[in-house]
Amino acid sequence: MISSRAENIPSFLVMDILEAAQELERAGEDIVHLEIGEPDFGAPEYVVEAAARALREGKTRYTHCQGIIELREAICDHYFKNYNVAINPDRVFVNSGSSPAMFSVFGVLLDPGDEVILTNPHYACYPSIFSFLGGRPMYLNLRGEEGFRYRVEDVKGLLTPKTKAILINSPANPTGIVIKKEDLETLARGEHGFIISDEIYHGLVYEGQAHSILEFTDRAFVLNGFSKVYGMTGWRLGYTIVPQEFIRPMQKVQQNFFISANAFVQWAGVAALTGPQDHIGQHVTEYDKRRRFLIQRLREIGFGIGSEPTGAFYVLADAHRFGSDSHKLAFELLGRAKVGATPGIDFGSKAEGFLRFSYSNALDNIAEGMDRLERYLQG
Ligand SMILES: Cc1ncc(COP(=O)(O)O)c(C=O)c1O
């Protein structure tokens, strides 16, 4: 018998779309991929070289469960340089992506029935992971007509004796919003448990600035990784920064469930953080160009976009004009217009009737995708 835990976990719809798209491609179709949040810029050459060197040098054994000290120190330097926060490397845990890191964080924080406050819309996997561990989601509903701004004033109404954590993600997937500094300060002052701050899109901001939660409180877990900013999705490298008192429990979870992240990939991570960083600025300039183009074309085609997203590489566009069942619409657009987009429902009920478009694809491909959508939807 399959466990009810496994029965109840929803599929990650963007992966369903991606896999369906790949099947069409195997059958000879040409698909424009705007569904997946995967940078088209690969890792810089010096990162590839560092991984190859590490492999040649035999850096292929288990490492400390928290990761090699060189990488943990580089992560601490990164947080000091960017946010002026001093962190001891003992508080850093390296993992094979931030996704397994989420499992560890929720695992050390949550008992069955504990509540986690998170936005709706939200990154699809958060509630799947913590519900698997017995946690319960409490949704802070955001409004499309307000451009999905973070409604910090509504958090109080969701607090209960069972509240264990507030989970934030800024810049956010799927909305592209960046939480204001004052709102982070308000959250940090709050009388609730811990803040879990997913900072994986830091570095990809087009207006304003993203702040780390660690600038305002130490009662926080930070999730971050190399997938987005360094174009290292398939390398699987991420990390967590945890409060002091969680070091030992995190070690036990890491040791038992993961042992360690890939050794040679960790050396690539050291290179990524300590090597030249100018490629990031160049990518941001390019993403910004794509962002503005995509927003303009989506509006021309008839999608609704309230206030414009200013971070990450997504546009969550109102597609009600074309259908209110986003799952059906996304599969229809894939099959008929040969364009991959992610159904809003993947990100919660407040994104139903929306589609998420990723601009982590080249401008020419985005242009082609928009032309196909225009022909299909207006044809
Ligand atoms: C908000 C957010 N957090 C975490 C992840 C997972 O990243 P990783 O590749 O580090 O597991 C993603 C991937 O899309 C994401 O959008």
Domain coordinates in residue numbering, the chain: 4-43+278-378, 59-274
Label residues 203-237 b or e (16+ Cβ within 10 Å = b).
Answer: bbbbeeebbbbbbbbeebbbbbbbbbbbbbbebbb
Which CATH class for the 59-274 domain? Answer: alpha beta
The residue to mutate among 35, 38, 123, having the most atoms of ligand 1 within 8 angstroms of its beta carbon, is: 123
Q: Which atom of ligand 1 is nearest to the CA of 225?
A: 10
Residue type at position 233:
T
The residue to mutate among 200, 221, 356, having the most atoms of ligand 1 within 8 angstroms of its beta carbon, is: 200
3-state secondary structure of 234: helix
Nearest to 91 by CA among 224, 230, 227, 277: 224
Q: Report the residue count for the chain.
A: 379
Q: Which atom of ligand 1 is nearest to the CA of 236?
A: 9
Q: Which atom of ligand 1 is nearest to the CA of 237?
A: 10
The residue to mutate among 13, 93, 98, 232, having the most atoms of ligand 1 within 8 angstroms of its beta carbon, is: 98
**How far apart (Å, rounded) are the C-alpha atoms in residues 111 and 177?**
30
Q: How far apart are the CA of 375 and the centre of ligand 1, in A?
A: 32
β-partners of residue 120 are: 141
Q: How far apart are the CA of 28 and the centre of ligand 1, in A?
A: 30
For the entire predicted model, the pTM comes to: 0.96
The residue to mutate among 126, 228, 358, having the most atoms of ligand 1 within 8 angstroms of its beta carbon, is: 228
Residue 234 CB-half CA count within 13 A: 7
Closest residue (by CA) to atom 13 of ligand 1? 37
243 preceded by cis ω (within 30°)?
no
| Nearby residues of 180 by Cβ (< 8 Å), 6 or more positions away | 150
Q: Which atom of ligand 1 is nearest to the CA of 172?
A: 1
Name the CATH topology of 4-43+278-378. Answer: Aspartate Aminotransferase, domain 1 (3.90.1150)
Please, are residues 116 and 165 in contact by the beta-carbon 8 Å criterion?
yes
| Nearby residues of 309 by Cβ (< 8 Å), 6 or more positions away | 147, 175, 176, 177, 291, 295, 315, 316
Residues in contact with ligand 1 by the CB-under-6-Å rule are 37, 97-99, 123, 169, 173, 198, 200, 225, 227, 233, 238
Q: Which atom of ligand 1 is nearest to the CA of 312?
A: 16
Residue type at position 72:
R
Residue type at position 29:
E
Nearest to 291 by CA among 326, 317, 254: 317
Q: How far apart are the CA of 116 and the centre of ligand 1, in A?
A: 18
Q: How far apart are the CA of 102 and the centre of ligand 1, in A?
A: 10
- Which token pair is 359? 């601009």
Residue type at position 177:
I
Q: Which atom of ligand 1 is nearest to the CA of 169?
A: 1
pLDDT attached to residue 191: 74
276 preceded by cis ω (within 30°)?
no
Closest residue (by CA) to atom 7 of ligand 1? 98
Q: How far apart are the CA of 126 and the centre of ligand 1, in A?
A: 10
pLDDT attached to residue 234: 95
**What string of pLDDT tens digits covers the 379 residues of the chain?**
999 989 989 888 999 999 999 999 999 999 999 999 999 999 999 999 999 999 999 999 999 999 999 999 999 999 999 999 999 999 999 999 999 999 999 999 999 999 999 999 999 999 999 999 999 999 999 998 888 999 999 999 999 999 999 999 999 999 999 999 999 999 999 877 899 999 999 999 999 889 999 999 999 999 999 999 999 999 999 999 999 999 999 999 999 999 999 999 999 999 999 999 999 999 999 999 999 999 999 999 999 998 899 999 999 999 999 999 999 999 999 999 999 999 999 999 999 999 999 999 999 999 999 999 999 998 7
Sheet holding 354-358, edge to edge: 314-318, 354-358, 342-343
pLDDT attached to residue 378: 87
Nearest to 311 by CA among 204, 233, 234, 217: 204
Q: Which atom of ligand 1 is nearest to the CA of 238?
A: 10
C-alpha distances (whole Å) from 66 to each of 62, 69, 143, 216, 223 are 11, 8, 39, 24, 14
pLDDT attached to residue 346: 93
The residue to mutate among 99, 106, 199, 233, having the most atoms of ligand 1 within 8 angstroms of its beta carbon, is: 99
**How far apart (Å, rounded) are the C-alpha atoms in residues 73 and 274?**
10
Q: Which atom of ligand 1 is nearest to the CA of 233?
A: 9
**How far apart (Å, rounded) are the C-alpha atoms in residues 192 and 305?**
33
